[in-house]
Amino acid sequence: MKNIVVIGANQCGLAFAKFAADAGFDVNVYEAKQRDEVAYNWTDDMMEETFPQVGLPLPPEEIHTRKRSWTFIPPSQSVKVFVPVPEEELDFAMYRRPFNAWLEELATKAGAKVHFGTKVDRMLIEGGKAVGVMLADGTKVDAGLVVDCGGVNSPIRNSLPDDFGIEQRIDPNDTFVVRRTFFRRPEGTKRPEFTNCAYLKHLGENGISWCLLSYDEQAADVLIGRLGKLTDARYTNALADLRRDNPIIGKEIVTGGELLQIPVRHPIATMVSNGYALVGDSAYMTIPMLGSGMAAGMRAGRMLADVIAEPIGDPFSVENLYRYQKQYMKEIGAEHSAINMMKNWLLKTDDRNVDFLIGKGIVNKKMLVEASAGHMLRMTFPELVSTALRGIKRLDLLLELAALMGKMEKQLDIAANMPEQYDKEALKVWRQNYEKAFQ
């Protein structure tokens, strides 16, 4: 059977649908929300190189602009470190609604059918294999493959039977709970010297806040995010602090304001089972330090489509689908899992260390540029060590960082080297090693 059901029509589901339909599969995408409610009403950053990487043309000019350079502010708020990036190296900032409309058009032109306002109630399973889905209205849809792009709290992944061997629920502490709100900029307020300010471990709490001047310069784009939980009290307090430093934050809300969750952990250890595959946030494909997930999820969609288009044996068998996970971990997931270790260290370490590293320029501009673009590990290991060595006056910190880098390198190696073929027992051992660093 060549039928594929995709759950979720945000950019990961739509991109995969296009790739799979191009490869000749019969693809139906089911999305619980209405078309114009799926994507956020703002811009988010994405590496331009993702488009050629996945074989898509560059999107039309009117649906993206260029991201601006960031200014980083450590917990003490004693300095503002502006990190200028040359214009041509800045990522795209995608207007998410038109971006989704463009992806939907590509997917439907390739032959995929996208059904909005159509919730998937549950997955149909026979003999330990996914065989389709049941829609909320009771309709049964047969499928050889169910691709779960249902997001961080995918209800389908959350209710998988244990014998699928896939971790069902995410630990809330592995999520970044955020409120992003656009406040109208009060008339007459001066254009800020730094347009994109990121407050690291803002107010000494586990998370970040940012205040950006919106692209039309009419609003302040304010994000407040904390790990695990964002109480109203914390939000109010953080907003008041941002207001003190950013007069562009007015009182009137233009858009946004809902509480959202982003996975910020290492990728899920098992992404596939017979007739079932996870793609995007449902498999925790975001960069743990930044929460960016569009590029990795779209690249994963390309890998999965290629693996089923040129299968070894049954395209939808776990043995064949495993090739997708192996490739994903080698090319993207291993790096993300090492970055997760760095994120955990940053959260755990004394705020004074973060102040020291940023304030004294030990975490240098190159590192911040790479980190803000999600390319942390493009820097070679010796580069990272030599960067840390410049902080020699703080031997304690140097030793801590050296130990961290050693562990990150080991994690990178484990995560990138999954067993050659699908083998349940070998995978059990790999999974234990892979998850050890996070227990």
Ligand X SMILES: Cc1cc2nc3c(=O)[nH]c(=O)nc-3n(C[C@H](O)[C@H](O)[C@H](O)COP(=O)(O)OP(=O)(O)OC[C@H]3O[C@@H](n4cnc5c(N)ncnc54)[C@H](O)[C@@H]3O)c2cc1C
Task: Give the range of 149-157, 195-203, 335-343, 348-356 binding ligand X by CB under 6 A.
Answer: 149-157
- Binding to ligand X, residues 260-279 (CB under 6 A): 260, 262
**One of 192, 207, 280, 288 touching ligand X (CB under 6 A):** 280
Is residue 30 a contact point for ligand X (CB under 6 A)? Answer: yes
Q: For residues 252 and 254, give the distance between their C-alpha atoms in angstroms, rounded to a whole number.
A: 6
- Binding to ligand X, residues 202-241 (CB under 6 A): 223
Cβ closest to ligand X, residue 300 vs residue 318: 300
Is residue 64 a contact point for ligand X (CB under 6 A)? Answer: no
**One of 22, 44, 104, 335 touching ligand X (CB under 6 A):** 44
Task: Give the range of 151-159, 243-251, 342-350, 402-410 binding ligand X by CB under 6 A.
Answer: 151-159
Q: Which helix (H) or strand (E) holds 142?
A: strand 140-142
Is residue 254 a contact point for ligand X (CB under 6 A)? Answer: no
What DSSP designation does 333 have?
A: I
Is residue 180 a contact point for ligand X (CB under 6 A)? Answer: yes
Residue 218 makes CB contacts below 8 A (sequence gap 6+) with: 184, 185, 254
**One of 132, 151, 250, 267 touching ligand X (CB under 6 A):** 151
Query: At its nearest, how many Å lie between ligand X and the CB of residue 262?
Result: 5
**One of 288, 293, 301, 391 touching ligand X (CB under 6 A):** 293
Nearest CA to 325 among 273, 276, 272?
Answer: 272
First to last CA, the chain: 40
How far from 428 is each of 293, 414, 422, 433, CA to CA, in Å? 27, 13, 11, 9
Token pair for 363: 């975490």
**One of 46, 249, 308, 321 touching ligand X (CB under 6 A):** 46
Nearest CA to 279 among 261, 305, 260?
Answer: 305
**Ramachandran category for residue 201: left, alpha or beta (phi over 0 → left; psi -120 to 50 → alpha):** left
Query: At its nearest, how many Å lie between ligand X and the CB of residue 421?
Result: 28
Task: Judge contact between 197 and 211, C-beta under 8 A.
Answer: yes
Cβ closest to ligand X, residue 85 vs residue 294: 294
Task: Give the range of 106-114, 145-153, 207-215, 392-400 binding ligand X by CB under 6 A.
Answer: 145-153
**One of 178, 200, 357, 405 touching ligand X (CB under 6 A):** 178
- Binding to ligand X, residues 365-424 (CB under 6 A): none
Cβ closest to ligand X, residue 290 vs residue 357: 290
Task: Give the range of 139-147, 214-222, 284-292, 333-341 binding ligand X by CB under 6 A.
Answer: 284-292
- Binding to ligand X, residues 76-135 (CB under 6 A): 119-120
Q: For residues 99 and 359, give the distance between their C-alpha atoms in angstroms, rounded to a whole number.
A: 37
Is residue 31 a contact point for ligand X (CB under 6 A)? Answer: yes
Query: At its nearest, how many Å lie between ligand X and the CB of residue 207?
Result: 12
Handedness of CA 76, 80, 84, 90 (dihedral sign): positive
Is residue 150 a contact point for ligand X (CB under 6 A)? Answer: yes
Task: Give the range of 44-52, 160-168, 213-221, 420-428 binding ligand X by CB under 6 A.
Answer: 44-52
**One of 195, 209, 286, 387 touching ligand X (CB under 6 A):** 286
Is residue 281 a contact point for ligand X (CB under 6 A)? Answer: yes
Cβ closest to ligand X, residue 170 vs residue 362: 170
Task: Give the range of 37-45, 159-167, 265-273, 430-438 binding ligand X by CB under 6 A.
Answer: 37-45
Q: Where are the beta strands (DSSP E) in 144-234?
A: 145-148, 175-184, 196-200, 207-213, 219-227
Task: Give the range of 18-26, 146-154, 202-210, 425-433 binding ligand X by CB under 6 A.
Answer: 146-154
Hey, is 373 helix, strand or coil? Answer: coil
What DSSP designation does 332 have?
A: I
Q: For residues 318 and 326, give the distance between their C-alpha atoms in angstroms, rounded to a whole number.
A: 12
CB atoms within 10 A of CB 59: 19
- HSE, side-chain direction, 13 A CA sphere, residue 62: 4
Q: For residues 281 and 374, give the distance between their C-alpha atoms in angstroms, rounded to a whole number.
A: 16
Task: Give the range of 78-86, 147-155, 187-195, 381-389 binding ligand X by CB under 6 A.
Answer: 147-155
Cα–chain-centroid distance for residue 25? 27
Is residue 301 a contact point for ligand X (CB under 6 A)? Answer: no
Residue 279 makes CB contacts below 8 A (sequence gap 6+) with: 12, 13, 16, 147, 148, 149, 285, 297, 300, 301, 304
Q: What residues line the site for ligand X (CB under 6 A)? A: 7-8, 10-13, 30-33, 38, 44-46, 119-120, 149-151, 154-155, 178, 180, 223, 260, 262, 280-281, 286, 291-295, 297
